[in-house]
Amino acid sequence: MGRFGSGVCTRKPENRPVPNIAQEEVRVNITRREFLLAASAAGIAIPSLAAIEGIQIGVCAPTRELDEAAQYGFDYLEPAAASVAEMSDADFQEFKQKELASPIRCECFNSFIRRKDLRVVGDDVNWNALNNYIDHTLARCRQLGGSIVVWGSAGSRNVPPGYSRDKAWSQIKDFLGRAGEIAKKHDIIVAIEPLRHQESNIINTGAEALRLVREVNHPNIKMIIDYYHLRVEKENPEIIWTARKEIVHFHFANPNGRLWPKSPAEDPLYGEFFKLVKKINFHGGISIEGRGSLAQDGAASLAFFRREITSA
């Protein structure tokens, strides 16, 4: 399984001196991005500038931004699984070769199910179509080095008006049991994402996701916490400690506008969040998911994570 499968970092440091990249950037008076681009062009292996105390920092972005994410020093890219599933065979192979030439991988995926005809809840659930889609999608994600696929996908799970919530919950458990078995075959984790009530009318909190994980009780079904959704739902960050054995991944954004984070002044609970992440000895990935861009916000966000994690 990949680095994030168990929430533990398995990447071993190389036995060679690591250059002081920050000093080199200052000495030659070039930007961090220019330094990385120049080093990449020269074939110089650059150690991750984002990994902090065993925690990897990634970005939720389209596959076309793989090279840019690497150039800015992110540890991995988190694209949409649905987009990868929709690629033609030729396009998938082309991207796979591009990724093999990159210093980073698509180690996590979001947007598991985006097709409107693939429902998990309701009277029009097509289990055969779902099973085929899950198998196809997880197989591709695994080929790209993925170890976690995040299932938020509100459109697939929202409960129709007047529909029994108990039946919806049972259908979700059935779906996750099936997904878990297929995920096991591909050595990958499907992680439930709680979503704010404005986006989904079921599984809105970490506590609900935790209940679901425990009821499904499958080794390949886990959960994530998205800081933005947690804050919108006003959930106590202590859920991170409560669900510590089931959390395999995090999403993060400044809750004031769902922006890329840059300053501890943006939200009073940043400090508590990072303290809890370190308290549970988390060695997986935190992905930025919000409004912003690598060019405009990448360097500042990486600096933010470095400060917050090291000072927590």
pLDDT tier at 194, thresholds 50, 70, 90: very high
Question: Dihedral sign, CA of 91, 295, 142, 243?
Answer: negative
What pTM was estimated for this model as a whole? 0.86
Residue 254, pLDDT score: 99
| C-alpha–C-alpha distance, residues 204 and 233, integer Å | 7
Q: According to the model, what pLDDT value does residue 1 have?
A: 59
Point out which residues pair with 288 in neighbouring strands. Answer: 59, 252
The predicted pLDDT at position 51 comes to 73
25 has pLDDT over 50 = no
Residue 125 is part of a domain; what is its CATH number? Answer: 3.20.20.150
Residues 107-123 have a mean pLDDT of 98
Q: How many domains does the chain have?
A: 1
**135-158, pLDDT tens digit by residue?**
999 999 999 999 999 999 999 999
Q: Which of 106, 120, 119 is nearest to 148 (CA)?
A: 106
Q: In terms of residue numbers, what domain contains 79?
A: 50-311
pLDDT for the residue numbered 135: 99
pLDDT(13) > 50: no
**Interval 58-113: pLDDT, tens:** 999 999 999 999 999 999 999 999 999 999 999 999 999 999 999 999 999 999 99
No. of helices (H) and no. of strands (E), the chain: 13, 8
Res 2: pLDDT: 54
pLDDT above 50 for 295 = yes
Name the band, by pLDDT with cuts 50, 70 and 90, for residue 7.
low
Longest dimension (CA), the chain: 66
Strand partners, 286: 57, 250
Q: Is residue 18 part of a domain?
A: no
15: in domain: no
Instruction: Return the residue matching tokens 């030729």.
Output: 90
Distance, CA of 81 to CA of 150 (rounded, Å) = 8
Would you say residue 221 lies in a domain? yes
CA triplet 289, 276, 298: central angle to 5 degrees? Answer: 30
Task: Tell me if 6 is assigned to some domain.
Answer: no
- pLDDT for position 3: 56
